[in-house]
Every structure is written in C-alpha cells, then in structure tokens.
Structure 1
C-alpha cells in the first residue's frame, strides 16, 4: 500500500478529517500469519483488526524480523502464549490511527512496537536499575489487551496477541506504553531489528554486563543476538572476544563484527569451559549465554573467572527448566544475572538507538541474511531452524 494511503495528517484543508475519523473507527481486513495450534505451521489468513481503543495505537507494519523467541512460542515453550495467535515482536511500521487519550503518538509517525513496555509510572519504570514494567507485566491477561479482549478475529474466532506486539500481520494494535516513536528518517527495513535482536544483544554487553575496556568476553551462541553482543563488546573496548558455536559457518561474520577468535566445542575432547579457562589463564571477565539451553548456561558460568567473572543469561529457556550448580562457585566472587531487552528502558532508549543507527554507530545490515515476503514466513522459519540465517526480515 502506498505510504500516502495510510498516513493521516493533522491538518486537512479539504475537510476530510471526518473521513479520517470514520476510517479510524473501521475494522481493517488484512493478511496475517496465524498459528492455530502448538507446533503448527503458519497459515496466511485474512484477519479483522479492530479499531484502537483508549490508549491504543493501530500500526501498519512494514517489516518484521524472525526471532528465535517466536519459534519457542510455536513450540509451546513460552507460558505467555495462547493459541490461536499472531506472533512476531521485532517490527517497524507507521501509525494508521490512534484511540482516545493517546498523547505522544499520532497518525503518520514511524514507530517500533515494544515487547517490553514502559508505562513510566510504576516502581520499576521509575527505578534506574530496572527496565521492566509492572503495568505491562501484571495488568492484562495473557494474549489480550488491558480490557481483557483481543483486537484480532479470523473466521469468527478470537485470535490472541503476542508480547504486546504481534507483528506478523499487515496491521496490529498495541498500547501506547508499548510503542516507541522513532526518527522520521529511519529506515522502514532493518530498523525493525532494534525492536528485539540487536538491542537485546548489544545492551546485554553495554548495560547488563557493563563490559569494560581491555576485558575478555565469551559469547555462547552466534545467532542474531549473540552477534549483537559481539558488537556491544567491541564498542565497549573489549580486548578479547571469543565466539562459541557448534556451527562454524557463523565464524566469519562473528569475526567481521569483532570476535577475535571462535571456538567450536565439537573440535575438542574436553569441555569447552576447560578450553576457555586454559586459553584465557583462568576464565573470561564476561560470559554471555545466547542460546537458552541449561547446558550452555552452565558452560558460560564455568567459563567465567572464579574471582570476578560475570555471566549474563540472555537466551530464553524452556518452561519449568531448572539450573543446578554448587553455590561455592559464586562464593569466590562470580556473578550470574539475566538480561531482557538488553537492559534498555524501551520508550526512552529505542529512539536513541535508532538515531545511533542513522549516525552509523553500528551497522544493522550486517545481521540481515535474508528478506522474504510475509507469505513465505514458513520458509523464513526453516532458514532459522536449519542455522542458515542470522536474521530474516519479512517485508509486510
């Protein structure tokens, strides 16, 4: 759809404001990728997208990335998912209409939907130590808006939302606290990666770990997030950045982005933590787990320096997973912590990250290996599962 067809203006000398209001109040029929049940493939369907209610925004999605967390959702590994559902949480688009009481976003704005909201009022939003939001976490039922209903229907059935965003659709609805307005000159293509993968990895290094100049780092898992961690470690001034993955095809891009060396655990007859301890003289300053497997989390922890190593868990584990280790491993000074969305306070930080991208402080395009139309979404997930892609962007 041409931009002029879905961007509304604030001033209209032709007297079509009433027409725009009527348009805003209408249900939009559009294409979306629906998952009807656990482990099912995506089905391209015509869905109805209801108008935004108070404090909500309806967005024309232009591009959206495929993230491993979406795959976890398909497999039923996330407790925050109900089926049937429209997945996707790494998107960029243009505001089509707004509901009542929306204060800071207007039709025509370029925006990124946020899977980590920022209400600005709760105790977590006001505390600089956290980027979580109590309102976003506690206020609503799984898969529904704050009023307990969905804005999506298909074939007469309610379709659930996903992570406040649902970007695998031509149009979506999100609450204002889950939408960040970005620079009007921002690309409507790879900028979507700031909605999750890039920001999560990059911020894990800069905010969560606080990597310092001259330090040593190990990154377990060289997918989109792991590679973004490498980018963060490099810009923070780390002297030694070790990429760890069982897929050697990812080593070249890892080194291009800043890894000083890469390790394939399959190449050794000893556990990879032992390899790293031996090669670094006692362990790394910072270890990052970007896979979501318990075994890799333990490997990262055991690869960190016994006296001052910090391990950051970035990967999403399966529900009810547990991790077990001797607490003495922490007594000597090790630290283990988690990181969601790289520690960024979303509405505050996303616009600045987009500006940094425009200023060429980092190159998002380095993470993009494939582009596909929305109707080839299943092919995109096949690329993800086979390890043939870093980030596939769906052009909606």
Structure 2
C-alpha cells in the first residue's frame, strides 16, 4: 500500500525486500495496522513523502529470511517489530533513548533543519525519518533485528501482539517518562489506541485515578470496558473545570497529550488553529496541549505523546514557567518496554484486540484508511492482512 499524493493511497506491486546488512531479517507480515500519525502523512502535513512510498509502521509477522549476523531469530519465528529503528550501539540506544538513535535514520538532514538534530528512523514514515519501506506489504526488511524484533510468547494472539509494535509501547513511553507515581491522578487527552495504552500503563504504574478525554462514544466506551479508566466527553463538559472538581481543586498530577498535530476542539481556537495550519503559518494544531497545560496542577508534568512536526502559535509558555510545570515529549522508546508488554499480554494484564475494529485484506487499504480517518462505522483501527 503506497502513498501516491496528498489524500491519495493506492495498492501496487513493488520490489520485494532483500537482506542488505548482516543484521537484517525479512519478515513476512501477518498483520499491519493504521496509526493516527499516518493521517499526517496522508494529509500532506509531514514533509519528504514521495509517490510510491510504502506506508505502515505497526506490524507483526513471521521471520522469512535471516542475515548471517543475526543471533536471536530464526526462520519461522513469530515476531513483533518496534516501529522505530535503533542500532543498540550508539550513545542514545545505550541510554535507553532508542527513538533518538544516531544510526537509525540514514537521511538525517531534513530533521536536523527542522529540530536542530536528527532523531532515529521509523518504518514507512517519510524520507525525513529515513525513507524506510513500511509494513503495509507482504514482506518488510527489518534492520538491527536483534534489537528491534521480539519473539511473541505462545498463547498471545496475532491481534494482541500487533499492538505491542507501536500503540502499547508509545503509551508506556508517555506514562513512564512522565514519571507516573502511585497515588497520582492522570489525565489523558485522546482515546485512540495510544491514549488507551497510556491510560493502561498509568494504571499499572499505580495511578489512583486515570481519566481519558475524547468525543467519540465508542472509544470512550472502550476505555471504560477494556482499560478500566474514567472518561470525559469534551463536547459535553468543561474539561479543566471537571478535572479540578475531581482533584480537590488542584488539577491532575500528570497530563498526557495523545492527540497530536491535528487536534480538534469545539471552541473558537480550533478555527484559528486550523486556518493558520492550512495557510502554513504554523505546522501543527496544539489545542489539546494548551488545554493540558492549563489543566495540569502546579508543579505537575505535561507529556506530549501525539506526533508534532514543527512550530505552533499561541503556546502558553508563561503557564509552563509560572506554574513550575515539567514539559516533556518523545517518540516511543519501545525497545525498553516491549518485553514487559508482551509478558503482561501473556498474563492478560494488557489486552488490545478490541482496538482492531476492522480487519481487511491489504487490497482494501484505501477503504481502510478512509474509514479510519472519517471514523466510519466506529473504526478505531483498521488492520490489514497482506495475505488476504
């Protein structure tokens, strides 16, 4: 499945991948999921996409070929692969900051200009992030396989293991890096796959109350049923006021933003942000981040887990400074968290099958992305089977 232009996706034949490095494996993809961050690519908000680029970065499958330097995997192994590419040898990987790998992005120039330094590479996520072919395909080449591919325990279904690739470790990154502590009140903006997994991670880390904010009834119902967290519909209530009421007037200890650069909001600031984004006067709509900053208690932590590309307007830096907030963000350091997640999946402490609301053949990819983008038929995630 390939990107052909802004809001245009196609399915076409591409050359099959081959082993290029001794530490590569080739994975026959079993399942590959859409991700909310893909919509930024489809909509043209992320630079450096080229017609014919293969999309997809959340996947699992079976090892089909193994490079001579690989020691942890054999042909036939069932594996889940982290979406970000880390070498395991550079300074950042050794610090556990895997998505910042110095060697995972062979095309660092674009992100050096955007952000001052390059971060790691990501499957199927533009040439700014390395130009790696994505997972919406029959086969995919996985570099640094001993670091980035993980054996799936017996008894963990393909549908469950799939979300250990990106949604679950991204959620774990947010909760862990925000330093959720026992007794905390945690608020999560966004009830998609990543927001749900951030809420589940916060609960496992001991949070006393976890509240997830969204506007879609089916996603909020999933949060209550499968995650065990409380919910707020931001179109029905004043979210900061409700959070203060729930916390004795203080506000949450930790606020995790899991929405990203195309955030929606019922207030007038949404139109302001949308116009400026469409005119390219700013790259991102930071509505949810703003609300999280204003809602967070004094001395609390705000973590930006949704994907942002560049610059925003009307950022409340004064609130960050004067409220003594800790503001953090990250792409996922999944290599750190996937072994724990798979173990918890094997013990039914983390369940994710409910996220795969629509499973279909790869040939139906354009339909799947349309359903995912427009939330048709309650679509939370469209999942593709390359073998049909």
TM-score (norm 2): 0.79
The total of aligned residue pairs comes to 341
Secondary structure of the structure 2 residue equivalent to 1:375: helix
- Cα displacement string for residues 88-117 of structure 1 (whole angstroms, at most 9, x for unaligned residues): 000001111133433433322222233222
What is the aligned partner in structure 2 of residue 236 from structure 1? 205
2:164 is the counterpart of 1:194:
yes
2:125 is the counterpart of 1:133:
no
Conserved 8 A contact 1:95-1:108: yes
Conserved 8 A contact 1:92-1:188: yes
Secondary structure of the structure 2 residue equivalent to 1:172: strand
**1-side partners of 2:13 and 2:99: how far apart?**
36
Conserved 8 A contact 1:86-1:162: no
What is the aligned partner in structure 1 of residue 92 from structure 2? 124
- Cα displacement string for residues 72-98 of structure 1 (whole angstroms, at most 9, x for unaligned residues): 111222235333210100000111113
Offset of residue 318 of structure 1 = 4.4
**2-side partners of 1:175 and 1:378: how far apart?**
28
1:306-385 aligned at under 5 Å gives the runs 306=298, 308-322=299-313, 324-341=315-332, 343-344=333-334, 346=335, 349-385=337-373
Q: Pick from 1, 6, 11 the counterpart of residue 44 of structure 1.
A: 11
**1-side partners of 2:48 and 2:344: how far apart?**
32
What is the aligned partner in structure 1 of residue 276 from structure 2? none
What is the aligned partner in structure 1 of residue 187 from structure 2? 218
Q: 1:125 to 1:324 in 2, by over 3 A?
A: same
Q: 1:259 to 1:322 in 2, by over 3 A?
A: farther
**2-side partners of 1:190 and 1:60: how far apart?**
18
Conserved 8 A contact 2:184-2:206: yes
What is the aligned partner in structure 2 of residue 106 from structure 1? 74
Secondary structure of the structure 2 residue equivalent to 1:46: coil
Q: 1:122 to 1:318 in 2, by over 3 A?
A: closer
Offset of residue 323 of structure 1 = 5.7
2:239 is the counterpart of 1:249:
no
1:7-46 aligned at under 5 Å gives the runs 33-41=1-9, 43-46=10-13
Consecutive unaligned residues in structure 2, runs of 5 or more: 111-123, 264-285
**2-side partners of 1:76 and 1:319: how far apart?**
14
Offset of residue 137 of structure 1 = 3.3
Offset of residue 70 of structure 1 = 1.5
Conserved 8 A contact 2:301-2:325: yes
Q: Pick from 53, 56, 62 the counterpart of residue 88 of structure 1.
A: 56
**2-side partners of 1:80 and 1:232: how far apart?**
33
Secondary structure of the structure 2 residue equivalent to 1:68: coil
Conserved 8 A contact 1:38-1:83: no
Secondary structure of the structure 2 residue equivalent to 1:137: coil
**2-side partners of 1:354 and 1:300: how far apart?**
30
For the pair shown, the structure with the greater C-alpha radius of gyration is 1
Offset of residue 336 of structure 1 = 1.1
